Amino acid sequence: MKVHVPRKELSDTLGYVERVIPNRISNPGLHLIKLELSERGLIFSGSNMDIDILAKLSADVEGSGTFALPAQVFSQVVKALPGDLVTFDFESSELEIAAGGYATRLQLVDAAAAPLLHFPDDYEGSLDAEQLGRALGNVRYAAAVAEYQAIFRGVKLELQDGRTRAVATDGFRLAYYNLAETSGLLGDIVIPARSVEEITRLLTHAHRVKGGEVALQLSAPQGGNEGSGGSFGQLSMDIDDYKLNVKLMEGSFPDYERIIPNEFPVNITLDAKVLAETVSRVAVMADRTANNRVDFFIKGGVVQITAEGSYGRSQEALPVSQEGSDPEMALAYNAKYLVDALAPLKGELRLSFSGTTSPSVVVDLSDSGYLAMVVPLRTG
């Protein structure tokens, strides 16, 4: 059974599939990649329990069959191949991979040893792939890292009629991104932050290659009742030649909207990049064991930013466009949280202060979809 396939396309496709598949052999079968051969080409699939991935690749295939082999070693061989064209020759228990003068024989594994994966046939929803990638990618930083923070280690996706929103928070900061698009699905789901990285990588890639839409489908937890109590087990995506099943987190976000302030006595407008660079620079002196504290003093159209640590102190003044009352407003932030919140922004921002101890809000004046909230540090 022979397959001829262009080397570059093979290597690119495998790159996406192989990233998902774990290298460790401790979990039987999970380190395997499955290859399905048919006259339409090759289908690769694998899983790490959190994400199932399937990728189609056009190829010149003689015959049909299903095989499995260790994903990492297969991928290493493919990355090392010379030339433009690769030939696979499937024999009883071995796969010969040949390219140029080079040939490798890999031991095949019984395809039944690979995980059994089900991808939906129908996708009831869809969104613009680039937009969904931007929404998830722009808020992912605000998700919690620590194990005990449970549901906050995920990114919530609100699929509503007339709006789609991605939101993440770790209790000290929050970010959301609104899409005016309707996905065609209804439900609130929480995607593990680690899976968000794989999703955004694939959405970005597929968008670059083809543009267009990603098809979406929600389904019940495996073995559970569909939609019982509004909970879903899995988000499935179909884009370009790739399909993903992403396992969702159980539980729900508390009502975060009530903690976002909506009255701001002081607002300043300035360039996002200038603010991020200034905060980073001043924070060099900040004490990492004391929350990377930087102090803001806002008065008369100038923001004075200062930091102090065991080696000394630093300061910088920035002219800003200020609305709202003098006298001087003084508050402190974790510099890292502020810099993270500014990272998705390219142009002018508005930073709005609700008070010295209540949350501040960042909005992007060139992209109304994004909002970030940062809770000031307690001082004094």
**Long-range Cβ contacts of 293-297 (<8 Å, 24+ apart):** 293/332, 293/333, 293/334, 293/335, 293/377, 294/332, 294/333, 294/335, 294/338, 295/330, 295/331, 295/332, 295/379, 296/329, 296/330, 296/331, 296/332, 296/333, 297/328, 297/329, 297/330
- Amino acid identity, residue 374? V
Tell me the closest approach of the beta carbon of residue 77 to a copy of itself, in angstroms.
Answer: 5
Binder among 73, 85, 186, 220 for a copy of itself (CB under 8 A): 73
User: Judged by CB under 8 A, how many residues of this single chain contact a copy of itself?
Assistant: 31
- Could you say which of 1, 106, 111, 151 contacts a copy of itself (CB under 8 A)? 106
Binding mask 256-295 for a copy of itself (x = CB under 8 A): ---------------------xx-xxx-xx----------
Identify which of residues 314 and 358 has a Cβ nearer to a copy of itself in the complex.
314
User: Smallest distance from the beta carbon of 26 to a copy of itself, in angstroms?
Assistant: 16
Which tokens go with 267?
């607002």
Determine the interface stretch with a copy of itself among 33-41, 52-60, 104-112, 242-250 (rule: CB under 8 A).
Answer: 104-112
Q: Collapse the DSSP code of 213 into the 3-class scheme (helix H, G, I; strand E, B; otherwise coil) and give the result.
A: strand
Distances (CA, A) of 84 to 35, 100, 102, 226, 233: 21, 8, 12, 47, 42
Which residue, 111 or 220, is less far from a copy of itself as judged by CB? 111
Whether residue 331 contacts residue 353, with contact meaning beta carbons closer than 8 Å, is answered with yes
- Determine which residue in the list 84, 102, 260, 368 makes contact with a copy of itself, applying CB under 8 A: 102
Report which secondary-structure segment, H or E, holds 5: strand 2-6
Structure tokens at 213: 């839409």
Q: Does 105 interact with a copy of itself (rule: CB under 8 A)?
A: yes
In angstroms, give the least distance from the CB of 116 to a copy of itself: 23
Residues in 331-360 that interact with a copy of itself by CB under 8 A? none
The span of 28-36, 98-106, 187-195, 255-263 binding a copy of itself (CB under 8 A) equals: 98-106
- Structure tokens given for 17: 């599939």
**DSSP state, residue 202:** H
| 279 contacts 305 by C-beta, under 8 angstroms | yes
Binding positions for a copy of itself, 310-329, rule CB under 8 A: 311-318
Closest to a copy of itself by CB, 22 vs 261, is: 22
The least CB distance from residue 300 to a copy of itself, in Å, is: 15
The binding site for a copy of itself (CB under 8 A) comprises 70, 73, 76-77, 80-82, 94, 100-107, 277-278, 280-282, 284-285, 311-318
